[in-house]
Structure 1
Amino acid sequence: MNPSRRLAAVAFASLAVSLALNTPSAGTTPAPLTPERLRHEAATARDTAQAVSLHIRVRDGRHVVEAGAGEAVLGTGRPVPHSPHFRAASVTKSFVAATVLQLAAERRLSLHDTVEYWLPGRVRGHGNDGSRITVRHLLQHTSGLYDPDSTELTGKTAPDFERRRFDRIYPEHLIDAALRHPPDFPPADPDDPEPRWSYSNTGYHLLGAVIEKVTGRPWAEEVHERVVRRLGLHGTRVPGDDDPDLPEPHAHTYHRFAGSDGYTDTTIRNMAWAGPAGSLVSTPRDLDRFFTTLLTGGLLPPRELAAMRTTVPGNEEHQRFTPGIRYGLGLQEQPLPCGGSRWGHHGDLEGTFVRTGFTADGTRSVVITVNGRTTDETQLLRIEKALQGLIDRMLCRR
């Protein structure tokens, strides 16, 4: 055999060995997730959380499985509905961030623009300075802006909640409340690779105002046109001020307030106060479609998507509940035990949890909603651990 043929034969043999080593055999390929397995996982997680109900949707490629556990209405035995509507809470932030980044891609604003530039005089006093805070700071929670406890307006006890559940409280009130406090820390230095970080709904309320200033339309209309209508998210909307109900089908949300022995049904309520920080209503299918399209480049150009996925570590409090969490521009990242990261955004509201997880390539996804919250921190940590483990198992196909 001449030298060139000998080298070709060796190369071919090496390639064959490499393919054999790196291609999973039929025996090692995980079996498709079955409805029975997912129902068992859902029931176990719901029991661990001691929640009223849990719904989970898992997608692996085109294979979709849903399961529910518990009861949709406490004390009735009614099963959790398929593909329920729910209040997405802070998952709203990812929709708002995608809208802001679309405007940046169109060069209608810059991530380096200051709040003072778009909202002159809005952020001043008590050490707050809008001329030092940029759009990027708001998106990434590195502005240092104080985040007031929304329950001070919506109620910390069951009687307070009952009295205030239909009150029209707007984001402007929460911005005003935040600006009566000094900032938690100065806005992040652009050159700091790991800036100080603190979750701030105030920043997203301000982003809603920036969107309106840039476009001349309310933030909710821009999100609807640019994201919801474009992707055909038929179960997703921002409720109006006079629309406290959830669309059918849905499971009821329940919250055990401090000092209360039982649950308060928190399903029907005015959500105007949450605005661009958390007022969206959605479905598991819609959140899957949104995040999958977002992560695979269907909503943003490469530059803006890369900016969105550039993350910084969460603070100690967030790390305690969700170890390893990092935050981009309206997007959360957490490590997967099987390697790589999962992406998405959490949502929390009186009565409900929303948890999402997506592989970076969009091939696998998990959307979980849990109804039945408490103010007990020990139980919250136990619930969080159960939900994080469930997402990891589903995305790692374990």
Structure 2
Amino acid sequence: MKRLLLFLTATTLLAATVVPAEAAPADAPERSTLQRDADAIRSTGVTGVLVRETSGRQSRTVVSGVGELNGRLPRADGHFRIGSTNKLLVGTVVLQLVAEHRMRLEDSVERWLPGLVQGNGYDGRRISIRQLLQHTAGIYDGNFPSIENARQYYERRFTIHTEDEIVRAGLSHPPEFEPGKGWSYSNTGYDLVGLVIKAVTGRPWYGEVDRRIVRPLGLRDTYFPGTDPRIARPYAHGYTRFTPTEYTDTTDLIDADASGGYISTLKDLDTIVRAVFDGRLLRPAQLRRLKRTVQTDGSPDPFWRNARYGLGVFSRDLSCGGTVWIPSGDQIGYRTRTGVTADGRHSVVVSMSSQLNDSLAAGIAQENATTRLIDNALCRSA
């Protein structure tokens, strides 16, 4: 694939449409507000935006921008990479196993992966599964596979990394802090959880996600791609802006592990996040465990300051009061944000087919516009 050195023009960014909802139509003012907020995300430089808002049994969907830089509109039923939203799936599987008395959140890593997390400052006997899920284990993440520019994308996009390989790379560096003494987001820690799930069940973590979440919910458009770099049609092309105004098509990628690998759609992902919180997937005791959060204060990531973290999910306060739960994820070319109320009745899912990595200011503008959309949508339905 040739590198795309394309500049966004007014014609490619001004295209927007409203897609009819599956349920009863929303009133015009609310639909207009949702569209306006989606357009505001697009105006930060994002190529395509898909949004689904659900309140009770009513859903509305809007799209903005383009699905490809030649001007094609994005489809509301398009597939996209959900990135670290995947962590909610992994956390849900672990909590189901806990409910079945097959493991405990306070089990040590050493119990399930004997000898793997030892030396170089690590002691698997002192690290619990809860700490891995909550990013408080101190597992170093700086060796996690990354792509920082277009050249690296073309060099690395088809490279296969096993979870065991990723874990060993992380453990080759001393820990960030002693277990339970800090908070630091760690994809590598979730790959350890993936290995634990296999040790407990005898099956890969994604096999358990399919068996426990995807199939029971009847989802037809959510799947684990494994080593297939393609996305099932239909889909919006994913673009990454590594340098200002220069968009690289980064749609194709092999990057699927327990930290973030699934592909889904607006409707399917909305079903998943609501099912976690409305009791279809987790018993009340397990849901309480998921919602037991820690502060992310001290995190260097400006996107998540003043947030809290449960088991695979962020939370923060809504401007109108109450708490929003935010399973979220970034994977090159795509950014996904969801917001759901504690009872699962109200939700909003946002898929953006661009990552603006050319500057911190651009990334923050994209994040702030998305936060406003989620806040406005959930406060309208409160």
Quick check: TM above 0.5?
yes
Aligned residue for 1:65?
60
Aligned residue for 1:246?
231
Residue 203 of structure 1, CA deviation: 1.3
Residue 323 of structure 1, CA deviation: 4.2
Residue identity in the other structure for 2:272: F
CA distance in 1, matches of 2:216, 2:277: 16
Residue identity in the other structure for 2:251: T
Residue 210 of structure 1, CA deviation: 0.6
Aligned residue for 1:197?
183
Residue 177 of structure 1, CA deviation: 1.3
User: 1:386 and 2:369 equivalent?
Assistant: yes
Residue identity in the other structure for 2:240: H
Aligned residue for 1:255?
240
Residue identity in the other structure for 1:381: I
CA distance in 1, matches of 2:322, 2:39: 28
CA distance in 1, matches of 2:72, 2:143: 34
Aligned residue for 1:40?
36
Aligned residue for 2:279?
297
Aligned residue for 2:18?
none
Residue identity in the other structure for 1:292: R
Residue 85 of structure 1, CA deviation: 0.8
Please list every run of at least 4 consecutive aligned residues from structure 1 whose deviation after the TM superposition is greater than 4 angstroms.
30-34
Q: Deviations over 1:153-198 (max 9, x none)?
A: 443221121022111122222211111111111111xxxxxx5211
Q: SS of the counterpart of 1:50?
A: coil
Alignment gaps of 5+ in structure 1: 1-29, 189-194
Aligned residue for 2:95?
101
CA distance in 2, matches of 1:97, 1:316: 23
Residue identity in the other structure for 1:162: Y
Q: Deviations over 1:338-373 (max 9, x none)?
A: 111011311012222100001112221110011222
Alpha carbons 1:148, 1:177 under 8 Å: kept: no
Match among 197, 200, 213 for residue 214 of structure 1: 200
Q: SS of the counterpart of 1:277?
A: coil
Aligned residue for 2:178?
186
Residue 39 of structure 1, CA deviation: 2.4
Residue 261 of structure 1, CA deviation: 5.9
CA distance in 2, matches of 1:384, 1:318: 16
Alpha carbons 1:158, 1:257 under 8 Å: kept: yes
Aligned residue for 2:290?
308
Residue 314 of structure 1, CA deviation: 1.1
CA distance in 2, matches of 1:261, 1:64: 34
Residue identity in the other structure for 1:223: V
What pairs with 1:122-201 in structure 2 (closer than 5 Å)?
A: 122-150=116-144, 153-188=145-180, 196-201=182-187
CA RMSD of aligned residues (A): 1.8
Alpha carbons 1:295, 1:361 under 8 Å: kept: yes
CA distance in 1, matches of 2:131, 2:28: 42
With 348-357 and 309-318 compared, the bigger mean Cα shift is at 309-318
Aligned residue for 1:116?
110
CA distance in 2, matches of 1:373, 1:161: 13
Alpha carbons 1:322, 1:384 under 8 Å: kept: no
Aligned residue for 1:54?
49
Residue identity in the other structure for 1:397: R
Q: SS of the counterpart of 2:63?
A: strand
Aligned residue for 1:280?
262
Residue 305 of structure 1, CA deviation: 1.0
Residue identity in the other structure for 1:382: A
Residue 321 of structure 1, CA deviation: 1.6
Q: SS of the counterpart of 1:324?
A: coil
Q: 1:279 to 1:167 in 2, by over 3 A?
A: same
Q: SS of the counterpart of 1:90?
A: helix
CA distance in 2, matches of 1:175, 1:347: 20
Q: Deviations over 1:183-233 (max 9, x none)?
A: 111111xxxxxx521111111101111111111111111110001101112
Residue 234 of structure 1, CA deviation: 1.3
What pairs with 1:217-228 in structure 2 (closer than 5 Å)?
A: 217-228=203-214
Aligned residue for 1:229?
215
User: 1:271 and 2:255 equivalent?
Assistant: yes
Residue 149 of structure 1, CA deviation: 4.8
Alpha carbons 2:338, 2:349 under 8 Å: kept: yes
With 59-68 and 136-145 compared, the bigger mean Cα shift is at 59-68
Alpha carbons 1:319, 1:325 under 8 Å: kept: no
Q: SS of the counterpart of 1:289?
A: helix
Aligned residue for 1:24?
none
User: 1:396 and 2:379 equivalent?
Assistant: yes
Residue identity in the other structure for 1:281: I
Alpha carbons 2:136, 2:182 under 8 Å: kept: yes
CA distance in 2, matches of 1:154, 1:206: 18
Identity of aligned residues (%): 41
Q: SS of the counterpart of 1:231?
A: coil
Residue identity in the other structure for 1:367: V
Q: Whose helix proportion is higher, 1 or 2? A: 1
With 297-306 and 203-212 compared, the bigger mean Cα shift is at 297-306
Residue 32 of structure 1, CA deviation: 6.7
Match among 304, 309, 312 for residue 322 of structure 1: 304
Alignment gaps of 5+ in structure 2: 1-25
